């Protein structure tokens, strides 16, 4: 293992980094969670990569066009002050899914290769059981956030439960070195 490998915080997008909007396809509907950008900047300064891992079945279903996806994504990155190292999305529409779609770990595997990441010391944060399952499948510690679909979820087996992504990122930052 090379010393240059970085740990990462993998984050779900909808309902985690931004308000949940059913099949969001209009940048005017994008609302980043207040305070998320500042925490992401602190995490990056602490040596973590920040990576969005998002299922976007609206693309595969033809509900969201590629241009709409790009516009929404660009607006979110703008609101997050660009504090995201990379974004991976899976357009797969069930039941025709690949290992890239969460809870599969294909997107995490791609990020690890592309960005020279290490899973040891890394985290997965999301608002759905499928996010926690994805993180666990990759061998990561996980944080369920109580925003989006996470508001009413029963126990998902997450390592930690947090009110929202700012609380989740504060938890990771408060632990010190990865």
**Residues annotated catalytic, as ranges:** 12, 14
Minimum CB separation of residue 95 from Mg ion in Å reads 20
CA dihedral 62, 18, 129, 100 (to 10 degrees): 50
Of the listed pieces 5-13, 31-39, 61-69, 170-178, which binds Mg ion according to CB under 5 A? 5-13
The strand order across the sheet containing 160-162 reads 86-90, 49-55, 8-11, 123-126, 141-145, 160-162
Query: In the chain, what is the greatest distance between 2 CA atoms, to the nearest angstrom?
Result: 43
Minimum CB separation of residue 139 from Mg ion in Å reads 21
Which of 7, 9, 10, 14 touches Mg ion (CB under 5 A)?
14
Residue number with CB closer to Mg ion (56 or 122): 56
- Backbone φ, ψ for residue 57 (5° rounding): -65, -20
Residue number with CB closer to Mg ion (127 or 164): 127
Minimum CB separation of residue 14 from Mg ion in Å reads 4
Of the listed pieces 86-94, 100-108, 126-134, 154-162, which binds Mg ion according to CB under 5 A? 126-134
Give residues with Cβ within 8 angstroms of 17, minimum separation 6. 11, 32, 33, 36, 52, 76, 80, 165
Footprint of Mg ion on 127-156 (CB under 5 A): 127
Give the span between the Cα atoms of 123 and 120, in whole angstroms.
9
Q: Is 65 helix (H, G, I), strand (E, B) or coil?
A: coil
Q: State both tokens at 8.
A: 């990462």
Closest-by-Cβ residue to Mg ion is 15
Q: State both tokens at 151.
A: 């508001």
Residue 15 interacts with Mg ion (CB under 5 A): yes or no: yes
Residue 164 interacts with Mg ion (CB under 5 A): yes or no: no
Residue number with CB closer to Mg ion (12 or 75): 12
Which of 9, 12, 162, 164 touches Mg ion (CB under 5 A)?
12
Q: How many residues bind Mg ion (CB under 5 A)?
A: 4
- Residues at the contact surface with Mg ion, assessed by CB under 5 A: 12, 14-15, 127
């Amino acid at each position: 293992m090379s010393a240059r490998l970085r740990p990462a915080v993998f984050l779900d997008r909808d309902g985690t980094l931004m308000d949940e909007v059913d099949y969001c396809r209009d940048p005017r509907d994008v609302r980043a969670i207040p305070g998320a950008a500042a925490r992401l900047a602190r995490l990056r300064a602490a040596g973590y990569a920040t990576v969005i891992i998002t299922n976007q079945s609206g693309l595969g279903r033809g509900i969201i066009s590629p241009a709409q996806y790009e516009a929404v994504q660009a607006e979110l990155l703008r609101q997050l002050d660009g504090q995201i190292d990379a974004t991976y999305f899976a357009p797969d529409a069930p039941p025709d899914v690949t290992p890239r779609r969460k809870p599969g770990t294909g997107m995490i595997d791609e990020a690890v290769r592309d960005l020279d990441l290490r899973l040891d010391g890394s985290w997965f944060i999301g608002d759905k059981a499928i996010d926690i399952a994805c993180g666990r499948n990759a061998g990561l510690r996980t944080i369920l956030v109580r925003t989006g679909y996470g508001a009413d979820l029963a126990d998902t087996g997450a390592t930690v439960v947090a009110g929202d992504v700012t609380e989740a990122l504060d938890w990771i930052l408060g632990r010190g070195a990865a």
